Structure 1
């Protein structure tokens, strides 16, 4: 074991990250498959447990069997552990524990953690990492505490407390799992606590740890602001990354709300049957959860096809870097959009907020978006072979949901063939580690190789 750990420390960073996630998924599936993790009435096979473990560690939410009807208390605790490991990463949690007990991690290990958390500098990294674990726990505890006011009267003390903790951890980690039944949170479509607290936890978990601490650093200035100009002035002191992420997150939530309202307001199978306040709550809830969390208070199978197609765009984008969310990431897509706009205008430099962005970052963003599109196409093509009777648009929705680690489904996952479910498992795994691994691979190229430049050539395009 000691020899393996020694060899592991010398592996490339991208391989370390991949192996740590795969290890957690495999061990988790073995524990979930044990009789002591399951209810006596469970009919799940090992394949179902493997699918679930991958989805839990990938913080996706897709499953072939419902948690509430498959796992007992111990199995549900294992589910929470896997979600936590997936949200922050096994390497991150283990290193935080080591640091907490006063032990030092090597420079090589710090670089691995830096890449795993999408952080681009080592300054104050130990303090940053411990604060991530600390405030993650605080947010989850606060969410659980608020849920208890509703869940304890509904389920009793023991079950109510545990269900509150389960939902809070799952929401903050953008996992999309619940232990409340077989229809996600549809039974709580009219409960304000669920419709407000769950989206807030999703946003906090998905916006990125670096944005948290940047906003926290200027919190006193925000709190003492007496006018809109004061708020804008303080906002300008945030880092370029924070401003981009906050702006795009708000834009995407508002855009999703508008599209959902226009498309589903009168649909009797979705929003049409709700009161005005119920509609507003459901609209806000789905606008937030569709980008990465996977909870639903409405049945997606009853939505208009336009809504599902539009929602795939938001699922593809996902959350923000350095958090618990998946997808191509807001800042990545934003940079590609900036590139397109700049090219249309015929400009050379790509600028944002009076700053010129490095072309190397733009190229990485473009590679990630193109790879995500290509991988989605490959997965969709395979699933059309394995489940050719299923309408293409539903398969498309399923693959994008898996790659974006969103977890939304039009009641399709459990009905797919084992071959298609295997494709979905690979989608979830790649979706969770893909952007991280790509950034790592591109950021650690062999710099000893000569960057050769030849005589300029020309190729016709368009």
Structure 2
């Protein structure tokens, strides 16, 4: 065992991260397939449990067999455990436990955690890790308490509290799983508690932990100096946030507003979605759909009934996903933002890529562009393969499902359970890659020669355009 651990420590960091997720998926699929984890009426086989485990650890929400009709109370507890491990990461949780008992994490382990959490340095690492676990638990407790206001009277104390906890953990970790049935949250389309608590949890989970702590520092400053008297002071404190936090907050805000506006524009008079609702209900349902696109996977409308325009627009928002270093997946808001800023700079003929009076590093911008291109190419490959095995399915629904898987969103037009096992296997790989990120996967798989140096040759020119 000591030899295995020593060899594991010598492996590249991306491989450690990938193996930690793969190990959780495998063990989770075994636990879910146990008789005590399933209902007597369960029709799931091992493939269904494996698919579910991948989706849970990848915090996606797609399934071949619904949780409510497959898993017992013990099985649903395992589902929550897999979602938690997937949202925060096995390495993060294990490190937090080790630190809590007063033991140190090696420098090598800190570097692994740094990459797993997309953190740029290892300053105050013990405080950072323990704070993540502490605050996520606190937020989930508050969310579950508020949700229980509705579910306890509806289901009773035991089932009501458990349903509240289940939905809260799933929402905060941007997983999109529910234990209510096959229609996600459609029965609660106009419920004010669901339409408020779930989106707030999704946003908090999707912003990223580094943004949390940056906002927390500014909030402490406001309390300490009582500097919240007017709009100008709040704006000044917002400007004191670091560049990453401001970019993430700005893009998250406008993505939600944009998706909400386009959804209402397309579905306003559609009787199958929001056409028959009151003005207030139309706004809250539209807000919910706009937020869930940040890779959460819950839905309060039937996505199979959406207008084609809405379906296509939603794929763009799902592709973008949440923000780095949090529980969300997708190409990430900051990554797509950098690619857009680069495009804008090229169109305007600028030699530097600038944002908010800062010149961005070339390697960061190049990395962002590579991730976006990788996501596009991988989605193209996945869609192409699925059309081979399930060519009878309309292309727009395959496109939607593939983007949902790669973005670890989990929204579905009721397609995944009906696909062939081959296509479902493609969806599994898409979810896994989408959660870890294509850069992590390809860095781990690349057979890099450490002795090879970055060689620069004579400059060459190629015509483009």
Q: CA RMSD in A?
A: 1.6
**Unaligned regions of 5+ residues in structure 2, if any?**
none
| Equivalent-residue separation in structure 1 for 2:274 and 2:75 (angstroms) | 35
> If the length of structure 2 is used for normalisation, what is the TM-score?
0.97
The answer to whether the 8 Å contact 1:316/1:327 transfers is yes
Aligned to 1:459: 462
Q: In 2, Cα distance between the equivalents of 1:124 and 1:47?
A: 42
2:399 corresponds, among 387, 396, 400, to 396
2:208–2:325 contact (8 Å) kept in structure 1: yes
CA distance in 2, matches of 1:347, 1:160: 57
SS where residue 218 of structure 1 aligns? Answer: helix
Q: 1:221 to 1:251 in 2, by over 3 A?
A: same
Q: 2:86: which partner in 1?
A: 86
Residue number among 317, 333, 337 corresponding to 1:334 in the alignment: 337
1:347 aligns with 2:347: no
Query: What do residues 268-315 of structure 1 show as CA deviations (whole Å, max 9, x unaligned)?
Result: 000112222211110000000022000000000010011000000000
Deviations along 1:120-161, one digit per CA (max 9) or x if unpaired, are 101111111110011010001100000111100000000001
Distance 1:40 1:391 in 2: 35
Q: Residues 333-371 of structure 1, C-alpha deviation per residue, up to 9 Å, x if partnerless?
A: 000001100001111011111110000000100110000
Equivalent pair of 1:118/1:436 in contact (CA under 8 Å) = no
Per-residue CA deviations over 1:168-207 (Å, capped at 9, x if unaligned) read: 0000000000001210000111110000100000000000
2: CA distance between counterparts of 1:3 and 1:41?
45
Task: Report whether the alignment pairs 1:271 with 2:274.
Answer: yes
- 1:66 counterpart residue number: 66
Any conservation in 2 of the 1:116–1:436 contact (CA below 8 Å)? Answer: no
User: What TM-score comes out, normalization by structure 1 length?
Assistant: 0.98
Q: Which residue of 2 aligns with 1:233?
A: 236
Q: What is the distance in 2 between the residues matched to 1:441 and 1:297? A: 38
SS of 1:102 mapped into structure 2: coil
Tell me the residue number matched to 2:23.
23
Structure 2 CA distance, aligned partners of 1:229 and 1:301? 45
- 2:173 is aligned to 173
Match of 1:246 among 242, 246, 249: 249
**SS at structure 1 position matched to 2:437:** helix
Question: Structure 1: how far apart are the matches of 2:237 and 2:367?
Answer: 30
5+ residue gaps, structure 1: none
> Which among 381, 385, 388 is matched to residue 382 of structure 1?
385
What is the CA–CA distance in structure 1 between the aligned matches of 2:269 and 2:381, rounded to whole Å? Answer: 36
Question: Could you tell me which residue of structure 1 aligns to residue 142 of structure 2?
Answer: 142
The yes-or-no answer on 1:363 pairing with 2:359 is no
Q: Give yes or no for contact 1:166–1:179 (8 Å, CA) kept in 2.
A: yes
Q: Which stretch of structure 1 is more off in the superposition, 220-229 or 330-339?
A: 220-229
1:429 aligns with 2:440: no
Alpha-carbon deviation of 1:225? 1.5
Contact kept? 2:374, 2:438, Cα under 8 Å = no
| Matched residues, number | 462
**1:72-119, CA deviations, whole angstroms, 9 ceiling, x for partnerless residues?**
000000000000000000111001100100001110000000000000
